[in-house]
Chain A
Amino acid sequence: MAVLRILDASGDTAIDFTRDDEAVLEQVRAVFDDLVHREKRLAFARRGDHGDAVLVRDFDPAAQEIVITRPLMGG
């Protein structure tokens, strides 16, 4: 079971998915594409239990966890 986390006002909205469920996978991929490609948010994929993460531009169904954040700016 993998999870897509969208950081938001509630902390995060989490959507669980598995690679086996094509229907759900398609929905999660659509959410990812909408946020990352249209809204220009940043996506970080974590593949192990540890905190190591990589910046990704495309949906990675093999990731254990994908965290979507807003971009940064100078304050």
Chain B
Amino acid sequence: MFSPPDTVVEAIPFDGRGWLVLDDGGDEYFVLDRTVGAGASTYRRDEARGPRPRTRPATSRPRAAARYSAPLAYGDATSDARRAADVRADALLHSFLDAGQLAQRQRGGTFWVTTRGGTVRLGEMYKLMHIEFADPCRWRMLCVVTHDHGRVPVGDEWTAMLLALRTTPESFFSVAAVRQADVWNAARARRSPAAMAADLDLWRQDALHHGRTLDAAYAAMALAKVEARRRRFGAALALADEAAAVITSEADHTSDPAAWLRHHAPLLAIESDVARRHEASCS
């Protein structure tokens, strides 16, 4: 692993430690304590530990550029090591989630990321649901992975996607592969509103069953729109009210409630539109 005179960041694969060896004369050692549950890992100077002997002689060479050496691939590690890696990856991911997203992940295993280009559900590999707010009946399934897919814990992949969606959503959507184009799309709704309503209701019930209340709210709002087209205004209003309550309350659990509500305004407008049409139909 060592290749003098470069400085090497050496991660000892899955024994719970790693070493950062500096080429600054051989007297300074950094030991990485990766013990799970011990808090943030740190490199400590001059505290060489463990059974490994010092392998670098003391010299007076100047510092050279540092280099990172990746540990053994995730898939080749022992199950204990993979579990430890998963715990670390999940802890990092959770530090980037707001309270609402964390609750979603704990309840249903997935969480939604709201962007300028709509909202994307992360947490189910190869099946990232993307909803365009302009039309809640317009859904599509995306597939995005990291370049080291399968060689890192899945939590790390979600972190990479989450950060990309938050900072550069356009680049996220530009690389995404559309797995199943517009499953419940507007064209289908026009062709067969009854079939569309049945699909949406099935998805809504399934989401509720799995504790995915926000999924159910999105499905309910789309269903309300379809039911209104079928002139079933009472059912549409009940669905829209239920969905709007969930979406509005979810804003309180986000880091930026105003932005959340602004992004969801087209969805919330469906409720007022359905209410107006329901009132007109009763008069």
Contacts and interface: CB of A to CB of B under 8 A. Distances in A.
Interface stretch (B48-56, B160-168, B218-226, B243-251): B160-168
Contacts of B175: 72-74
B66 A12 contact: no
Contact of A75 (B32, B126, B152, B163): B126
B86 A42 contact: no
A51 B96 contact: yes
Interface in A50-75: 50-55, 67, 69-75
A13 B18 contact: yes
A27 B148 CA distance: 25
B58 interface: no
A31 B67 contact: yes
Interface string B181-217: 0000000000000000000000000000000000000
B61 interface: no
Would you call the interface of chain B mostly helix, strand, loop, or mixed?
mixed
Interface string A1-13: 0010111111111
A13 B176 CA distance: 28
Interface of A: 3, 5-16, 23, 26-28, 30-31, 34-35, 42, 44, 46, 50-55, 67, 69-75
14 contacts: A7-B89, A8-B11, A8-B70, A8-B152, A12-B92, A13-B9, A15-B43, A34-B67, A44-B163, A53-B166, A54-B167, A70-B148, A71-B146, A73-B147
Interface of B: 7, 9, 11, 13-14, 18, 20, 22, 24, 32, 34, 40-43, 63, 65-68, 70-74, 77, 81, 84-89, 91-92, 95-98, 126, 143-149, 151-153, 155-156, 159-161, 163-164, 166-168, 171-172, 175-177, 179, 255
